[in-house]
């Protein structure tokens, strides 16, 4: 089946630094990917839609200048958390859909756990 | 836009008991899909089932079964003969055909299965 990978799987950084998270579709092309955030003991919340070759669209309340999204190729989207603070500590999950089929299944990455100290 | 209610915060059962997870959704879309995902402690989302809005046939797949009632906007999920490995958080999520990919996850139900 289709596979979506994320790198790194976990990262610890100091407050004020920036962290980049990669989301890759390994065996299919994805013009659109999605980024979700999950705080401890909470549900997943959609942050933004990443569009290949164009600007990302952000959900209400998500700071676009803080969460930079780049979708430079059909298989890679990156999320950069700029000037990270402890409140940005969360589990970040990306997802993508294989355009070659008509399935509405969503392939999720394994997630990246970010801890900001 | 969809709204999902998973009223059960946590369900604790003993192994081999059945577990039914409730999901009630709201949508103005005529065509939509309903999903159930499982999230074990590792964090990775595991796809369980998908149903489209025009197929109300309920099915059984192994130990999993679901009950889709469009008239009451409910999409309940049952695990039969639960096992310890079923311990996880279960999310219900509708998605509109017009905005695929943009899941509105429910709050999730924590299932704890003890030996």
pLDDT tens, residue by residue, B10-61: 999 999 999 999 999 998 888 888 999 999 999 999 999 888 888 777 778 8
Residue A13: name the closest of A93, A66, A102, A88 by CA: A88
Nearest to B103 among A46, A91, A111 (CB): A46
Rounded to an integer, the average pLDDT of A70-90 is 95
What is residue B57's three-state secondary structure? coil
Q: Which of A34, A93, A111 sits opposite B102 (nearest CB)?
A: A34
pLDDT of A100 over the 70 cut: no
Share of chain B above pLDDT 70, in %: 99
Q: What percent of chain B has pLDDT over 90?
A: 65
Q: Is A92 within 8 Å of chain B by CB? A: no
Residues 6+ apart with CB under 8 A from B19: B11, B13, B78, B79, B82, B86, B111, B113
Q: What is the pLDDT of residue A53?
A: 85
Q: Identify the pLDDT of residue B97.
A: 77
Given this model, what pLDDT does residue B4 score?
Answer: 93
CA geometry: angle B6, B9, B14, nearest 5 deg:
115
Chain-chain contact of B106 with A43 (C-beta, under 8 angstroms)? yes
Gap between the Cα atoms of A20 and A37, Å rounded? 14
- Between positions 85 and 114 of B, the ones with CB within 8 A of A are 91, 95, 97, 100-108
| Residue A83 near chain B (CB below 8 Å) | no
* B101/A95 touch (CB, cutoff 8 Å), yes or no: yes
pLDDT band at B9 (very low <50, low <70, confident <90, very high): very high
Q: For residues B85 and B19, give the distance between their C-alpha atoms in angstroms, rounded to a whole number.
A: 13
Backbone angles phi, psi at B71, to 5 degrees: -65, -30
**Interface mutation target, options B25, B47, B102, chain A, most CBs of A under 10 Å:** B102
Does A8 sit behind a cis peptide bond, omega within 30 degrees of 0 on the bond before it?
Answer: yes
Cβ contacts of B60 within 8 Å, gap of 6 or more: none
Question: How does DSSP classify residue A28?
Answer: S
CB–CB contact A108 B33 (8 Å): no
* pLDDT at residue A103, rounded to an integer: 60
């Amino acid at each position: 089946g289709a596979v979506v990978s994320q790198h790194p799987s976990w990262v610890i950084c100091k407050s004020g630094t920036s962290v980049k998270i990669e989301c890759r579709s390994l065996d299919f092309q994805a013009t659109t990917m999605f980024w979700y955030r999950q705080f401890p003991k909470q549900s997943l919340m959609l942050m933004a839609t990443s569009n290949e070759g164009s600007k990302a669209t952000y959900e209400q309340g998500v700071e676009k200048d803080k969460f930079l999204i780049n979708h430079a190729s059909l298989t890679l989207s990156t999320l950069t958390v700029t000037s990270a603070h402890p409140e940005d500590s969360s589990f970040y999950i990306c997802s993508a859909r294989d355009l070659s089929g008509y399935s509405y299944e969503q392939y999720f990455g394994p997630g990246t756990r970010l801890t900001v100290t | 836009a969809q709204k999902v209610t998973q009223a059960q915060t946590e369900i604790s059962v003993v192994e081999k008991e059945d577990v039914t997870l409730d999901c009630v959704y709201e949508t103005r879309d005529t065509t939509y899909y309903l999903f159930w995902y499982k999230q074990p402690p590792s964090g990775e989302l595991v796809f369980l089932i998908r149903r489209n809005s025009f197929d109300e046939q309920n099915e059984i797949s192994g130990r999993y079964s679901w009950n889709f009632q469009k008239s009451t906007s409910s999409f309940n999920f049952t695990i039969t003969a639960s096992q310890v490995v079923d311990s996880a958080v279960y999310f219900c999520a509708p998605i509109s055909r017009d905005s695929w990919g943009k899941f509105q996850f429910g709050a999730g139900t924590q299932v704890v299965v003890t030996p």
